[in-house]
Amino acid sequence: MPMTSDQAVEVLRAAAEPTRLRILALLEREELAVLELCRILGQSQPRVSRHLKLLANAGLVERFRDGAWVFYRLAGASPIRALADQALDLVAPTDATFIRDAERLSGVSAARAGEAASYFAENAERWDEIRSLYTSEAAVEAAILEVAGEGPFERLVDLGSGTGRMLTLLGERARSAVGLDLSRQMLNVARSHVAAAGLDACELRHGDILGTGLRAGEADLVVVHQVLHYLGEPAAAVAEAARLVAPGGRLLIIDFAPHDLEFLRVEHRHRRLGILDAEMERWLGASGLGQCLVTTLPPAAPGRLTVKIWSASRPGARIWRVA
């Protein structure tokens, strides 16, 4: 709905300050925690928090708590968001301050990715063992098989393949399959697992879930298994995964429900402590997929995590490609 003149003035006042405009530009790129913004802006936490409070009160940014951390992101589609976008569009791409902030953000993101890569490299061989600490894998995999359906699938894409478990689980139902992962150590483990399973039509590639390089509508089944909680841009990852889904095809996302096990951030490099259903529904809806269906798998023992399977399909009849 359109804003009143008073609301418009409040929004413009909130955005019309150098630091707050810088914050909007950073959050346009990805959601960030308060301390990450402090590091990029070179300002104290109390000062940055005051700016964020003004932006949140004006409706320009959204604040959400994730365990002990607090994240911020730009507001969703609305007249207020449109004003923010217009304000940012007025700034020249050559602006030195914005360029410097973008470089610092890249540094923060690179450091985060480096820590994650080191973790995956150190734990690649025992990844399935680590994952089993959290929930009953047998129950999760049985549910994944049921939600995915019998197939056969013309093309299966597994994003963030890890040790290749989704490929070995679902590969026999697909005529061809590809798994992408940024960790070369994980890919090596996955290749050995895929070969042992006799999946000759399955390939492993080094690739990024945020920019897969795959064709739009390439897959009848896209799977994102236990990946989103590591990412700074989960919404962008969902959008890229959804882009790959063919008409009549399906996207499966498996991850944790919200929890408060903070040790997973430090010991296992989790960035997000679970995903809300409302968040996932919003991301999938924005990607053009149909109704989001949710399967909930409660923990097998106290202190473990609830697993969610979100599934959504692209409207239309499935198009079978002839090899």
pLDDT at 135: 65
Q: Which segments of the chain belong to CATH 1.10.10.10? A: 5-91
d(CA 145, CA 191): 21
Domain 5-91 fold: Arc Repressor Mutant, subunit A (1.10.10)
Residues of the chain with pLDDT under 50: 321-323
Superfamily (CATH) of domain 126-313: Vaccinia Virus protein VP39 (3.40.50.150)
pLDDT at 127: 61
Task: Provide the pairing of β-strand 69-74 with 32-33.
Answer: antiparallel
Both ends of the chain: CA-CA distance in Å?
50
225: left (phi over 0), alpha (psi -120 to 50) or beta: beta
The 10s digit of each residue's pLDDT in 129-188 is 666 666 678 888 999 999 999 889 999 999 999 889 999 999 999 999 999 998 888 888
pLDDT at 188: 82
pLDDT at 78: 83
pLDDT at 118: 76
d(CA 102, CA 300): 43
pLDDT at 323: 35
d(CA 84, CA 28): 9
pLDDT at 191: 87
pTM of the predicted structure, to 2 decimals: 0.73
Residue 277, C-beta contacts closer than 8 angstroms, at least 6 positions apart: 292, 294, 308, 310
d(CA 219, CA 244): 6
pLDDT at 317: 66
Residue that is written with structure tokens 């902030």 in the block: 101
pLDDT at 52: 96
